[in-house]
């Protein structure tokens, strides 16, 4: 297969983990005889420093011309610590989602048996947890009408029926491919926008009689993810709730550095780790590249290249079992491995497979 991939490394640890993601992609291309071309583009704080825009037009065009985008992270403390900044790296991420029409964010939450001890939850609660959070990505408060002042401010949590319907259809499709259980998360007892979500979902559930649909308030869902994460199969929710719940879900696995994601919609899909730019780890060769590498697996699987994705997942699991791990998940007394060393080990595994 011929694939064109736009590479957006971004800020902080982004370039380091992206280097490993690209190396794994190239290894898979060699193994399966794919022709993959890469084109790098600016985004985030790096782009602001270079051209004054966190998602420049040239980057947008690069993404539109690609078959897929491999993205790492954006964010920089110099913007986080300046509340008066008019341009921020995160605006580039929102612009990319909006301009590419990426309305569906798919975040798998899967535990690794050899890392259960790293989870903040007890073994008997978290072992076997395996669910997908599907977050609506281009609506809600992140994109609604805003007003900001020193005495008053507001964000509008706007949703339309078509926006809700299309994300629910994505969620039902995933539920049908898995254990046929969909949980719609809202706050319908308080929010009008949530009542629209629930109303539309109740209308649509009859179209999917093979899927068990239940409804859960977001505060209850947050508690249930801690008390009984194995309850969930596919969870779907709006933008703000999804942002919070997916980060919560990532922590129960033991490290945010383990989980990938995909954002899909109207144009080029984007594949990225769920963690941030972690500027404190920049340049130290300690960032965990596995989420970036597993994002590559999701990229191949998106194009129905299942064997390629399966080999990447097998290599990642083998690296964990062999204790080839970055410091935050390494077992006591085991050898130390950095970002580059973990990535190279996985590349070597793929080459030898």
Active site members: 142, 187, 219, 243, 247
Q: Which of the 8 DSSP states describes residue 151?
A: S
- Residue pair 324/316 in contact (Cβ under 8 Å)? The answer is no
Whose structure tokens read 């093979």?
A: 210
Two tokens, residue 105: 């964010």
Nearest to 47 by CA among 77, 74, 13, 86: 74
- Residue pair 328/288 in contact (Cβ under 8 Å)? The answer is yes
> Measured between alpha carbons, how far is residue 204 from residues 139, 165, 209, 213, 241 in Å?
20, 8, 10, 10, 21
How far apart CA 124 and CA 116 sit, in angstroms, is 10
Two tokens, residue 133: 């959070």
* β-strands 68-73, 270-273 pairing: parallel
> Measured between alpha carbons, how far is residue 115 from residues 111, 189, 268, 305 in Å?
8, 38, 34, 28
- Residue 208: count other Cβ atoms within 10 Å of its Cβ: 18
* β-strands 35-40, 2-10 pairing: parallel
- Residue pair 290/85 in contact (Cβ under 8 Å)? The answer is no
Measured in Å, how far apart are the chain's first and last C-alpha atoms?
20
């Amino acid at each position: 297969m011929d694939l064109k991939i736009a590479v957006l490394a971004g800020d902080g640890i982004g370039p380091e983990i992206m280097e490993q993601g690209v190396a794994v992609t190239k290894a898979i291309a060699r193994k399966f005889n794919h022709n993959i071309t890469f084109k790098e583009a600016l985004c985030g704080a790096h782009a602001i420093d270079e051209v004054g825009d966190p998602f420049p037009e040239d980057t947008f065009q690069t993404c539109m011309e690609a078959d897929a985008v491999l993205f790492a992270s954006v964010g920089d403390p110099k913007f986080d610590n300046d509340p008066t900044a008019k341009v921020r790296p995160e605006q580039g991420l929102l612009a990319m989602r909006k301009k590419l029409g990426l309305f569906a964010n798919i975040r798998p939450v899967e535990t690794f048996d050899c890392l259960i001890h790293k989870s903040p939850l007890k073994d008997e609660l978290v072992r076997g947890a395996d669910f997908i959070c599907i977050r609506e990505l281009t609506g809600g408060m992140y994109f609604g009408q805003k007003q900001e002042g020193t005495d008053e401010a507001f964000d509008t949590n706007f949703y339309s029926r078509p926006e809700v319907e299309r994300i629910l259809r994505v969620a039902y499709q995933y539920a049908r491919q898995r254990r046929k259980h969909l949980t719609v998360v809202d706050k319908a007892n308080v929010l009008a926008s949530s009542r629209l979500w629930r109303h539309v979902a109740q209308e649509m559930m009859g179209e999917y009689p093979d899927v068990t649909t239940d409804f859960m308030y977001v505060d209850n869902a947050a508690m249930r993810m801690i008390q009984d994460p194995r309850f969930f199969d596919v969870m779907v929710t709006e933008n703000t709730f999804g942002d919070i719940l997916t980060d919560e879900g990532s922590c129960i696995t033991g490290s945010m550095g383990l989980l990938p994601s995909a954002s899909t919609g109207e144009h080029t899909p984007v594949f990225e780790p769920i963690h941030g730019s972690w500027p404190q780890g920049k340049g130290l060769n300690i960032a965990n590249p596995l989420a970036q590498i597993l994002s590559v697996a999701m990229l191949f699987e998106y194009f129905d290249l299942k064997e390629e994705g399966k080999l990447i997942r097998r290599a990642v699991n083998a690296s964990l079992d062999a204790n080839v791990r970055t410091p935050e998940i390494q077992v006591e007394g085991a050898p130390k491995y950095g970002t580059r060393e973990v990535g190279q080990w996985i590349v070597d595994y793929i080459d030898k497979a």
